[in-house]
Structure 1
Amino acid sequence: MSATLSFTAPTEHGPQDITLSYTRAGAGEPLLLLHGIGHHRQAWDPVAGILATERDVIAVDLPGFGRSSALPRGLPHDLPTTTAVLAAFCAALGVDRPHVAGNSLGGLLALELGRENLVRSVTTLSPAGFWTQAERRYAFGLLTGMRRTARALPLPLVERLSRTAAGRTALTSTIYARPARRSPEAVVAETLALARAEGFAETLRAGRTVLVTDDVPDVPVTVAWGTRDRLLLPRQGVRAKRIMPRARLVRLPGCGHVPMNDDPALVARVLLDGSRAQSARALSTSFSTVAL
């Protein structure tokens, strides 16, 4: 069930009142799920049920996305601020050092939570920040074009396109390797989420200066990358492994940038393996992939 939580976050700009929307289901050790820019928590729906059999799964709409309001005026949608907000969100829920998994922007935030030692383990799917400047400009250009298209399309046209495999491909092939598998209802909802995302422009602007150069030394890290990722190219996964040599790098065959829908069983297994307390230390020292 969807819920909202209001709390006070101690940001670099002073205490701020924040409200985030989230869902919570399952039992076991807590697992926080973070989506990418312009998306919403429903991106995790294809794997949430599998994860909930072993984890207390908390999927949250990031500030300014989905059903969560943008941050208060004057508060930047940057990495330090959003990390502080997520830490305060977990504290308000009474969740101490959850496992965290993130996709794209969510993966970047998950790594930052790990760097601050606020989580038990980190699993990232195509995390942002391991780009060259040319790769960043390419990705941001695609994202800006997707956003412009989503805002320009009338809702009846989006609904009509979503009813056919060709239409779903036209709307979502940038982020899914198998867009025809996405349900029409999900395609409509995520197109609207992208068009209406209050935090999109501010978050994208803050991302221009982001470049990951530091390891995450204190928690186990898994980095997974789809072999058909068209937004953040798979070679960035190899770069991530060089920066974080103890991380486990996993190849996701046939998956795109948002792999949860392309291969739910594989992605769920990667997330559960990455968040297993007893095996996490061993996983963090392995390199289980072929050339990406």
Structure 2
Amino acid sequence: MSATVSFKVPAPAGTRDVTVSYQRVGRGDPLVLLHGIGHHRQAWDPVVDILATEREVIAVDLPGFGASPDLPAGLAHDLPTINSVLAALFEALDLDRPHVAGNSLGGLLALELGREKSVRSVTALAPAGFWTEAERRYAFGVLLTMRGLAQRLPLPVVERMSRSAVGRTALTSTIYRRPARRAPEAVVAETLALAGASAFEATLHTGTTVRFTDPLPGVPVTVAWGAHDRILLRRQGVRAKRIIPHARLVRLPGCGHVPMNDDPALVARVILDGSSRPAGL
């Protein structure tokens, strides 16, 4: 079941009220799931039930994505602000240093939370921030093209395309290695989420100068990369391992940029193992 929570976040001129939509299921140590840019929390649906057998899972719609309203005036979509938003969210949901897993933008945010020591462990699936400038420009170009197509396609066309494997491939093969596996209704919903994401441009703009360079001592870190990632190329995983030497680097065969749909069992196992590692490893 989805729910919303509102809380206050510090702003340059006082505080602002922020509202976030989320889903909370399962039992065990808390595990927060963060999606990528232009996506929504339903990106995690293929793995949530598996994770919920061992963890209390909190899948979040980031502000300005999915069902969460955009940030109010006075709050920017930069890393310090989103860190503050997530810290306030954890407090509002009574989460004491949860485990966190993120994909793409969500992977970068998970690593940022690890740098702040506000989480117990980090699992980052194809995280942003380990690119060269040329790789960043390429990735942003792909994302902008995807966004433009999603905005131009009429809903009846999206619905018709989603009914066939060929249509689902045309709509989602950039992010999935096995797009035909995605349910038609999920493809429609995520196409609408990409088209309607009010924070898309602002978030992309703040990413132009982002590089992750912190080794994250004392926090268990897993970095996993799909072998067929077409947005953030897999060699960036090797770069991440150099920056975070103690991180466990995992290759995800048969997976694209959003691997949860391509191999749910493998991705769930990577996350569960990552959130079971001892501190300092």
Class of the TM-score when normalised by the shorter of the 2 chains: over 0.9
1:205 and 1:164 map into 2 onto residues whose CA distance is 35
Match of 1:48 in 2: 48
Write out per-residue CA displacement over residues 38-66 of structure 1, whole angstroms, 9 at most, x where no aligned residue: 00000000000000000000000001000
Q: Which amino acid aligns with 1:231?
A: I
Q: Which amino acid aligns with 1:230?
A: R
Unaligned runs of 5+ residues in structure 2 are none
On the 8 A contact 2:11/2:74 being kept in 1, the answer is no
Match of 2:275 in 1: 275
- Indicate how the Cα distance of structure 1 residues 71 and 29 shifts in structure 2: closer, same or farther if over 3 A, else same: same
1:233 and 1:271 map into 2 onto residues whose CA distance is 21
Unaligned runs of 5+ residues in structure 1 are 285-292
On the 8 A contact 2:218/2:279 being kept in 1, the answer is no
Q: Which amino acid aligns with 2:105?
A: L
Counterparts of 1:1-292 in structure 2 under 5 Å?
1-11=1-11, 14-276=14-276, 279-281=277-279, 284=281
2:177 and 2:42 map into 1 onto residues whose CA distance is 18
- Please, what is the CA RMSD of the aligned residues? 1.0
**Scaled by the length of structure 1, what TM-score is found?**
0.95
1:53 and 1:13 map into 2 onto residues whose CA distance is 43
1:148 and 1:134 map into 2 onto residues whose CA distance is 21
Q: Which amino acid aligns with 1:4?
A: T
On the 8 A contact 1:115/1:218 being kept in 2, the answer is no
Match of 1:289 in 2: none
1:12 and 1:142 map into 2 onto residues whose CA distance is 34
Write out per-residue CA displacement over residues 80-123 of structure 1, whole angstroms, 9 at most, x where no aligned residue: 10111001001001110000000000000000000000000000
2:63 and 2:13 map into 1 onto residues whose CA distance is 16
On the 8 A contact 2:12/2:74 being kept in 1, the answer is no
1:87 and 1:166 map into 2 onto residues whose CA distance is 42
1:256 and 1:171 map into 2 onto residues whose CA distance is 14
- Indicate how the Cα distance of structure 1 residues 254 and 13 shifts in structure 2: closer, same or farther if over 3 A, else same: farther
SS at match of 2:112: helix
Write out per-residue CA displacement over residues 262-291 of structure 1, whole angstroms, 9 at most, x where no aligned residue: 000000000000011xx3348x3xxxxxxx
Deviation of 1:216 (Å): 1.0
Deviation of 1:15 (Å): 2.0
Deviation of 1:12 (Å): 5.7
SS at match of 2:119: coil
On the 8 A contact 1:7/1:88 being kept in 2, the answer is yes
Deviation of 1:11 (Å): 4.6
- Indicate how the Cα distance of structure 1 residues 28 and 13 shifts in structure 2: closer, same or farther if over 3 A, else same: farther
- Indicate how the Cα distance of structure 1 residues 13 and 244 shifts in structure 2: closer, same or farther if over 3 A, else same: farther
Q: Which amino acid aligns with 2:125?
A: L
2:244 and 2:11 map into 1 onto residues whose CA distance is 27
On the 8 A contact 2:162/2:184 being kept in 1, the answer is yes
On the 8 A contact 1:114/1:218 being kept in 2, the answer is no
SS at match of 1:246: coil
